[in-house]
Amino acid sequence: MISEAIDNEQIDALLSDVLEVHGYDFLEYSHASIKRRITRLYTLDNFVSFAEFRYAVKSDKQYFKRFLEEITVNVTEMFRDPGFYRSLRHDVLPVLGTYPFIRIWVAGCSTGEEAYSLAILLKELNLLQKSLIYATDINPSVLEKAKKGMFPLNYLKGYSENYVASDGTKDFSSYYTANYSLAKFDESLSSKMIFSTHNLVSDHSFNEFQFILCRNVLIYFDKELQHKVFQLFDNSLEKLGYLALGSKESLDFWPKAKEYKRVKLEKIWRKL
Amino acid sequence: MAQTIADKKCSALVIGGSAGSLDVLLEIFPDLKSNLSFPIILVTHRKSGNDSLLTDLLKSRTHLIVNEAEEKQPILRGNVYITPGDYHLLIEEEITISLDYSEKVNYSRPSIDVTFQSAAEVFKDELVCILLSGSNADGVEGLKIVEKWGGRVIIQNPDTAIMPYMPQQALNEIKTALVLNSFEMAAFINKLNN
Beta bridge partners of B67: B81
Give the strand order in the sheet containing B178-180: B65-68, B79-82, B40-44, B12-17, B127-131, B152-156, B178-180
Instruction: Assign A255 to helix, strand or coil.
Output: helix
Predicted-complex ipTM score: 0.88
Residue closest to B131 by CA, chosen among B102, B111, B150: B111
* B63 annotated active-site: no
Q: Are residues A59 and A162 in the same domain?
A: no
Enclosing domain of residue B40: 2-191
Q: Does A6 touch chain B (CB under 8 A)?
A: no
Residue of B nearest to A249 (CA): B71
Q: Pick B71's closest partner by Cβ from A1, A37, A249.
A: A249
Q: Determine phi and psi for A16, rounding to 5 degrees.
A: -65, -40
Q: Does A265 touch chain B (CB under 8 A)?
A: no
The answer to whether the CB atoms of A36 and B118 lie below 8 A apart is yes
CATH number, residue B9: 3.40.50.180
- Name A203's Cβ contacts closer than 8 Å, sequence gap at least 6: none
* B182 annotated active-site: no
- Name B154's Cβ contacts closer than 8 Å, sequence gap at least 6: B5, B128, B129, B130, B131, B177, B178, B179, B180, B185, B188
Q: Are residues A247 and A167 in the same domain?
A: yes
Vertex B64: Cα angle to B146 and B31 (nearest 5): 80
pLDDT tens digit string along A186-211? Answer: 999 999 999 999 999 999 999 999 99
Chain A, 43 to 82: residues with Cβ < 8 Å from chain B are 73, 75
How many domains, chain A? 2
Q: What is the C-alpha to C-alpha distance for residues A110 and B158, in angstroms, rounded to an integer?
A: 43
Size of interface A-B (CB pairs under 8 A): 55
Task: Give the per-residue pLDDT at B5.
Answer: 58
Q: Are residues A245 and A139 in the same domain?
A: yes
How many domains, chain B? 1
Q: What is the C-alpha to C-alpha distance for residues A249 and A81, in angstroms, rounded to an integer?
A: 13
- The two counts, helices (H) then strands (E), for chain A are 11, 10
Q: What is the C-alpha to C-alpha distance for residues A89 and A151, in angstroms, rounded to an integer?
A: 23
Asked if A57 and A63 touch (Cβ cutoff 8 Å), the reply is yes
Q: What's the distance, Cα to Cα, between the start and end of chain A in Å?
A: 44
Beta bridge partners of A106: A135, A213
The answer to whether the CB atoms of A73 and B71 lie below 8 A apart is no
Asked if B110 and B116 touch (Cβ cutoff 8 Å), the reply is no
Q: Are residues A175 and A153 in the same domain?
A: yes
Asked if B44 and B16 touch (Cβ cutoff 8 Å), the reply is yes
CATH number, residue A227: 3.40.50.150
pLDDT tens digit at each of 272 positions of chain A: 445 568 889 999 999 999 999 999 999 999 999 999 999 999 999 999 999 999 999 999 999 999 999 999 999 999 999 999 999 999 999 999 999 999 999 999 999 999 999 999 999 999 999 999 999 999 999 999 999 999 999 999 999 999 999 999 999 999 999 989 999 999 999 999 999 999 999 999 999 999 999 999 999 999 999 999 999 999 999 999 999 999 999 998 899 999 999 998 899 999 99
Q: Are residues A157 and A261 in the same domain?
A: yes
Enclosing domain of residue A128: 82-271
Q: Pick B98's closest partner by Cβ from A1, A2, A30.
A: A30
pLDDT tens digit string along A35-86? Answer: 999 999 999 999 999 999 999 999 999 999 999 999 999 999 999 999 999 9
Instruction: Assign A115 to helix, strand or coil.
Output: helix
Asked if B112 and B130 touch (Cβ cutoff 8 Å), the reply is no
Q: Are residues A59 and A127 in the same domain?
A: no
Interface test with B, best of A33, A76, A155, A222 (most B CBs within 10 A): A33
Q: Pick A248's closest partner by Cβ from B71, B92, B114.
A: B71
DSSP per position, B69-138? --TT-B--TTEEEEPPTT-EEEE-TTSBEEEE----BTTBSS-HHHHHHHHHHHHGGGEEEEE---SS-T
